[in-house]
């Protein structure tokens, strides 16, 4: 065989292999961008090495705190859960160490994401906080989130830890298109402090989760809250995007709804959202393990 034909043959084989990897296996090799708007992330933690993308400090507090954001990041893509998700985490610091913050800083953080995300590329924005601002602020936040969604970003929000029914006054969880998440306890009923109501989309585990702690590079701790339930949903969405099961923001609800396992017992329909996600199907590392009937 002439050398020129051999070269062509090798190129065709390489192209075939590339096609199989990209399309037949249905997975993307590009990391999925996840933007965590929180109190910062300690990227040099053992559980988070290799995850770090951009790190921006909107409030100008340097590297103090970072407790909450580090825990969120460790659930979404850290070594602790060994989920091996193709994820690149970006830290956008908009909160103080105690979890407080200004809506103006939050809006600046959303604007930063809009300016730095590649338009049309799927990704996830994790917002594990919320509040009740004035109507004008709520309107501005809604507009900014709509722009994020138009650029291919899925927005996930915790519903809060007040143990009450939420309404449209609380944002960002009540904004159209935002995936709002409540917390289950270890008995697979609503965690006592989790908010609830017909604005909740899904409930997932949120009690006694092991996470990375920013206190030391190798420290871990146990923590509870809807913030961490939201992070689990963000991890599931990264998995769906990476496997090409989610190709646009319009496909997110159908992807999650297809994994609903059971409705949450003890709550009326308007209080429990769509139900509990079946993580045996969507993300085995966070699998729902129903208690035995005898228990």
Residue pLDDT, tens place only, 64-82: 779 999 999 999 988 877 6
| Residue 228 or 80, more confident | 228
Contact 277/256 with Cβ under 8 angstroms? Answer: yes
**What does the pLDDT read at residue 23?**
42
Whole-number percent of the chain with pLDDT over 70: 76
- Give pLDDT, residue 1: 53
Closest CA to 61 of 40, 45, 42, 44: 40
* Residue range 250-279, pLDDT digits in tens: 999 888 877 665 554 555 555 556 666 655
Tell me the C-alpha distance between 100 and 285, whole Å: 31
**∠ CA(238), CA(242), CA(244), 5° rounding?**
120
What percentage of the chain carries pLDDT values higher than 90?
A: 55
pLDDT of residue 277: 64
pLDDT at 55 over 60: yes
What is the spatial distance between Cα 209 and Cα 42, in angstroms, rounded to a whole number? 18
Tokens of 204: 């997932």
Backbone angles phi, psi at 11, to 5 degrees: -60, -40
Beta strand pairing call for 220-223 and 209-212: antiparallel
Cα–Cα distance for residue pair 215/170, rounded to 1 Å:
31
* pLDDT given for residue 84 in this prediction: 72
Please give the helix or strand (H or E) that residue 57 lies within, else none. strand 52-57
- Residue 287: strand, helix, or coil: coil
Q: Tell me: the pLDDT tens digits for 87-128?
A: 999 999 999 988 899 999 999 999 999 999 998 899 999 999
b/e map 50-67, b = 16+ CB within 10 Å: ebbeeebebbeeeeebbb
Which of the 8 DSSP states describes residue 23? I
What are the tens digits of pLDDT across the range 165-195?
888 889 999 999 999 999 988 887 889 999 9
Q: Report whether pLDDT(9) > 90.
A: no
What is the C-alpha separation between 217 and 239, in angstroms, rounded?
26
Q: Are 37 and 110 in contact (CB under 8 A)?
A: yes
What value does the mean pLDDT take over residues 6-21? 45
Sign of the CA dihedral 160, 125, 96, 230?
A: positive
What mean pLDDT comes out for the span 137-150?
95
pLDDT band at 284 (very low <50, low <70, confident <90, very high): very low
Pair of tokens at residue 151: 């650029």
Give, as one character, the DSSP assignment of residue 165: B
- For the ranges 24-38, 47-61, 89-103, the lowest mean pLDDT is seen at 24-38
**Given a cut of 70, is residue 26 above it in pLDDT?**
no
Q: For the chain, what is the mean pLDDT? A: 82
Distance from first CA to last CA of the chain, Å, rounded? 72
pTM, to two decimals: 0.83
């Amino acid at each position: 065989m002439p050398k020129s034909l051999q070269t062509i043959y090798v190129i065709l084989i390489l192209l075939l292999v590339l096609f199989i990897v990209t399309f037949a296996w249905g997975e993307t090799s590009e990391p999925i961008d996840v933007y965590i708007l929180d109190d910062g992330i300690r990227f040099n933690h053992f559980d988070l090495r290799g995850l770090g993308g951009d790190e921006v400090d909107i409030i100008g507090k340097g590297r103090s705190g970072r407790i909450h954001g580090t825990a969120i990041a460790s659930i979404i893509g850290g070594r602790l859960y060994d989920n091996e998700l193709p994820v690149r985490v970006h830290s956008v610091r908009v909160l103080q160490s105690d979890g407080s913050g200004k809506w103006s800083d939050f809006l600046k953080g959303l604007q930063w994401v809009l300016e730095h995300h590649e338009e049309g590329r799927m990704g996830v924005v994790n917002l594990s906080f919320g509040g009740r601002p004035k109507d004008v602020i709520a309107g501005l936040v809604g507009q900014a989130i709509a722009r994020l969604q138009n650029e291919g970003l899925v927005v996930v929000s915790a519903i809060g830890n007040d143990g009450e029914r939420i309404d449209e006054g609380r944002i960002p969880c009540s904004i159209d298109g935002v995936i709002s998440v409540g917390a289950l306890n270890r008995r697979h009923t609503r965690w006592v402090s989790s908010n609830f109501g017909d604005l909740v989309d899904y409930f997932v585990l949120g009690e006694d989760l092991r996470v990375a702690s920013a206190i030391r590079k190798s420290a871990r701790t146990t923590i509870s809250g809807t913030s961490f339930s939201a992070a689990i949903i963000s991890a599931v969405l990264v998995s769906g995007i990476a496997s090409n099961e989610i190709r646009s923001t319009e496909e997110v609800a159908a992807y999650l709804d297809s994994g609903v396992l059971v409705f949450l017992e003890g709550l009326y329909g308007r209080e429990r959202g769509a139900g509990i996600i079946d993580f045996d199907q969507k993300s085995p590392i966070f699998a729902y393990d129903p208690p035995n009937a005898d228990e």
